[in-house]
Amino acid sequence: MRKKTDLPTGVKTRKKKKFTLDDVQLFFLSLPTVIWYLVFCYLPMFGLVIAFKNYRVAPGKGFLYSLFYNSKWSGLDNFRFLFANNKATTLNMFRNTVGYNIIFIILGVVLPVTLAIMINHLHSQKLAKVTQTAMFLPHFLSWVVVGYFVFAFLSTDNGLVNRTLQKLGIDTVKWYQKDAIGYWPFFLIFLHVWKTIGYSMVVYLSSIKGIDASLYEAAMIDGATKWQQTKYITLPMLKTIMIIMFIMAVGKIFNSDFGLFYRTTRNSSSLTSVFLTLDVYVYNSMFNNPRPVYGYISAAGFLQSVLGCLTMIIANAIVRRVDNESALF
Amino acid sequence: MSTVSKSAKPASRETGSGMERFNAIRPGTNAAYSTLFILLALLCIIPVIFVIIISFSSEDSIGKVGYSFIPIEWSLNAYKYVWHLRNAQGIPTVIMAFLTSVGLTVAGTCLGLILISTMGYVLSRRNFKLRGLYTMLIFIPMIFHGGLLSTYVVNVQLLGLKNTYWALIFPLCCSSFYVIIMRTFFQTSVPDEIIESGKVDGANQLRIFVQLVLPISLPALATIALFLTFAYWNDWYQASLYIESKMQNMFPLQYLLVNIEKNIQYLANNDMAMSASSDALPTETMRMAIVVIAVVPIMFSYPFFQKYFITGLTIGAVKG
């Protein structure tokens, strides 16, 4: 152990003496990006201190002044608010965020892998290409646009669904109101799958295409059925990419696709309990609340960042233990 | 179904050594799979077609049969009125928003390409002294972030980006994911000899990067450029954070869509709204017309760029 750590540091210090011309040039070449990272990624990280402050904006003064001179430390008060006074909402948003994500993660592995394997079996390459391209389309659309698509179907007065129900003599439903609340979890799950499946299918399909064809030939000669080939060749070969996609998804378990929850539901207040995720809570309390309390919002944001980071590290550690090769970092 | 029956000939598979024809799925299974994928493809395309149809329906037709695939009357009115929505300077609001979107997309993509490719190149140089430090710099934001509130507070109160175009450009122009794609490409596809030969000829790193490395990295640059282009074109979120609703002239197209959802009248500037009596505005179809204007450029361009996306995704999936 000693030997292992000593050697590289020894090498490092020897190297450090010389900062070559090359290094200087490379440093300047990368300087703009480094500045971008410091300003737009690292500064906000320090902004998380707001969670432990009773943040008050000092009018006419800068952010740093407001933060350090105008705002008192408040310890864990902001968190206490989230879990005591605001308990119902907090539980609701954590349940939604994590719950939807778990469903998304499971579907996000099972469905695209299945479809990728199936589409790879199609006899007509042309049909495979055309359908794959069509299924990729939703990935390129924004949630705003998708929100309008949904509205075209679900609008209470003119929507296709209600007009069809009318024709069939069935009672119409006010889709964006309280009585439709039971349908929305399914709508949201469907929309998520609809928008992401083309993308993930392509990721898995390109891995499948990379598998050596001779493996399948050998298996076939040995009399393996299609199912056996899939089970013993394709799936094991996809393992690494599946694990990578899995870790990335698990690391984002406290994040939510804001547009999905906010735009497709039109932020309808009677549906809030179905789509209130952490991101929606933070956004709504910042922009749709006349008197936002920054401390509480930041506390929610802080939990999101820290818990997300922890889950990512834990997921990766577990994968590393099971199969070192597949770990992400 | 003609595609299916034609494709039943296994010989149409181009790849493989010829053995595959014996390993293909049965024609019946193939027909079932084909049907499934045709249905899925339709499911993904039909909403777009639906919205296009609605935008060409007359307001009358919508009153009678609602949003329908078969309107009883077609009409170009929606587009006519959208054209007549003017801002205070007399420029059509939609054209203004369209140009804003194009401008932001071009500027953001160029800036992003510079930031991402330089960082990717520097990280790909194995004997760069700060390489370890830079790797951490790139890596940490992938697993930890400041969250919306502190990002917002920093951007608005510290950097003063509220109601500026910079607020719509900077937050999206770089990401660790793209940097890693770029670095991986440079590491695997740019031979060290080229860089060495540049050094022997006395070129500095900037020249080596611009004149030797970039020209042979066009596929990766194209991939990143496309990721960025679609991200900027589809962005409404940054605008909803940083552009106040009174700054109508700064709205990109997607954010215009967000706003007309609330109230289309509000976008019709006084005089124009007067001339077209406000009840007559075909608001339902106008919204859909603007959706179509935002979607059509994407719909017709992405099939051509798809392959670059796939390259990007597969490079990106290689772990760093």
Whether residue B309 has pLDDT greater than 90? no
The verdict on B269 and B158 lying in the same domain is yes
Whether residue A128 has pLDDT greater than 90? yes
pLDDT digits (tens, 9 = 90+) for A2-15: 444 444 444 444 54
Range(s) of the domain holding residue B190 = 93-317
**Distance between CA atoms of A270 and A176, rounded to whole angstroms?**
8
Would you place residue B315 in the very low, low, confident or very high pLDDT band (cuts 50, 70, 90)? low
From B45, B115, B143, residue closest to A36, measured CB to CB: B115
Would you place residue B114 in the very low, low, confident or very high pLDDT band (cuts 50, 70, 90)? very high
| Cβ-defined contact of A46 to B146 (cutoff 8 Å) | yes
Contact residues, B window 159-178, toward A, CB-based 8 Å cutoff? 159, 170-171, 173-174
Q: What are B86's strand-pairing partners? A: B92
Which of A39-48, A291-300, B38-47, B82-91 shows the highest mean pLDDT? B38-47
Q: Output the CA torsion B198→B204→B205→B211 (10° steps).
A: -60
Would you place residue B6 in the very low, low, confident or very high pLDDT band (cuts 50, 70, 90)? very low
**Owner of token pair 């296009």:** B52
The verdict on B100 and B38 lying in the same domain is no
From A16, A137, A244, residue closest to B299, measured CB to CB: A137
In the prediction, which pLDDT does A7 show?
Answer: 44
Size of interface A-B (CB pairs under 8 A): 315
B150 reaches A (C-beta below 8 A): yes
| Cβ-defined contact of B45 to A137 (cutoff 8 Å) | yes
| Cβ-defined contact of A26 to B17 (cutoff 8 Å) | no
**Distances from the Cα of A84 to the Cαs of A79, A91, A129, A296, A317, in angstroms?**
8, 11, 54, 12, 33
pLDDT digits (tens, 9 = 90+) for B254-276: 999 998 876 665 555 444 544 54
CB A115 within 8 A of CB A201: yes
Would you place residue B279 in the very low, low, confident or very high pLDDT band (cuts 50, 70, 90)? low
- Find chain A residues with C-beta within 8 A of B47's C-beta: 146, 149, 152-153
| Cβ-defined contact of A40 to B171 (cutoff 8 Å) | yes
Question: Which of A18, A20, A24, A33 to mutate to probe the B interface, most B CBs <10 Å?
Answer: A33
Closest-CA distance, B279 to chain A, in angstroms, reads 18
The verdict on B304 and B193 lying in the same domain is yes
In the prediction, which pLDDT does A244 show?
Answer: 79
- The answer as to whether B201 is a domain residue is yes
The verdict on B180 and B301 lying in the same domain is yes
Tell me if ipTM is over 0.90: no
In the prediction, which pLDDT does A48 show?
Answer: 86
As a whole number, the mean pLDDT across chain A is 87
Identify which has the larger pLDDT, A243 or B96.
Answer: B96
- The answer as to whether B148 is a domain residue is yes
Closest-CA distance, A79 to chain B, in angstroms, reads 15
**Where exactly are the structural domains of chain A?**
88-276
In this structure, what CATH number is given to the domain that contains residue B176?
1.10.3720.10
From B41, B204, B313, residue closest to A25, measured CB to CB: B204
Stretch A276-295: mean pLDDT: 89
Stretch A201-218: mean pLDDT: 89
Contact residues, B window 8-47, toward A, CB-based 8 Å cutoff? 8-10, 12-17, 19-20, 22-25, 27, 29-30, 33-34, 36-38, 40-45, 47
- The answer as to whether B71 is a domain residue is no
Number of domains composing chain B: 2
> Is the Cα dihedral A254, B138, A39, B231 positive or negative?
negative
In the prediction, which pLDDT does B267 show?
Answer: 55
In the prediction, which pLDDT does A144 show?
Answer: 95
Whether residue B63 has pLDDT greater than 60? yes
Would you place residue B280 in the very low, low, confident or very high pLDDT band (cuts 50, 70, 90)? low
In the prediction, which pLDDT does A6 show?
Answer: 46
Q: Which fold has domain A88-276?
A: MetI-like fold (1.10.3720)
In the prediction, which pLDDT does A2 show?
Answer: 42
Listing DSSP states for chain B in one string gives -HHHHHHT-GGG--SSSSTHHHHSPPHHHHHHHHHHHHHHHHHHHHHHHHHHHHHTB-HHHHHHH-S-SS-SSB--HHHHHHHH-B-TTS-BHHHHHHHHHHHHHHHHHHHHHHHHHHHHHHHH-TT-TTHHHHHHHHHHHHH---HHHHHHHIIIIIS--TTSTHHHHGGGS--HHHHHHHHHHHHHHS-HHHHHHHHHTT--HHHIIIIIIGGGGHHHHHHHHHHHHHHHHT--HHHHHHS-TT-GGG--HHHHHHHHHH-SGGGS-HHHHHHS-GGG--HHHHHHHHHHHHHHHHHHHHHHHHHHHHHHHHHHHS--
The verdict on B153 and B298 lying in the same domain is yes
B89 reaches A (C-beta below 8 A): no
**Distance between CA atoms of A312 and B6, rounded to whole angstroms?**
48
In the prediction, which pLDDT does A10 show?
Answer: 43
pLDDT digits (tens, 9 = 90+) for B86-105: 877 888 889 999 999 999 99
As a whole number, the mean pLDDT across chain B is 85
Whether residue B138 has pLDDT greater than 70? yes
The verdict on B12 and B121 lying in the same domain is no
In the prediction, which pLDDT does A292 show?
Answer: 83
Q: What are A73's strand-pairing partners? A: A53
Whether residue A29 has pLDDT greater than 80? yes
Closest-CA distance, A61 to chain B, in angstroms, reads 9
Whether residue B158 has pLDDT greater than 90? no
Stretch A74-95: mean pLDDT: 87
3-class SS of residue A170 = coil
- The answer as to whether B307 is a domain residue is yes
- The answer as to whether B110 is a domain residue is yes
CB A65 within 8 A of CB B153: no
The verdict on B139 and B28 lying in the same domain is no
The verdict on B178 and B278 lying in the same domain is yes
Whether residue A262 has pLDDT greater than 60? yes
| Cβ-defined contact of B24 to A15 (cutoff 8 Å) | no
The verdict on B36 and B130 lying in the same domain is no
- Residue A123's closest chain B neighbor by CA? B7
Identify which has the larger pLDDT, B9 or A253.
Answer: A253
Would you place residue B5 in the very low, low, confident or very high pLDDT band (cuts 50, 70, 90)? very low
The verdict on B306 and B161 lying in the same domain is yes
Identify which has the larger pLDDT, A198 or A73.
Answer: A198
**Distances from the Cα of B309 to the Cαs of B106, B230, B287, B288, in angstroms?**
18, 11, 30, 28
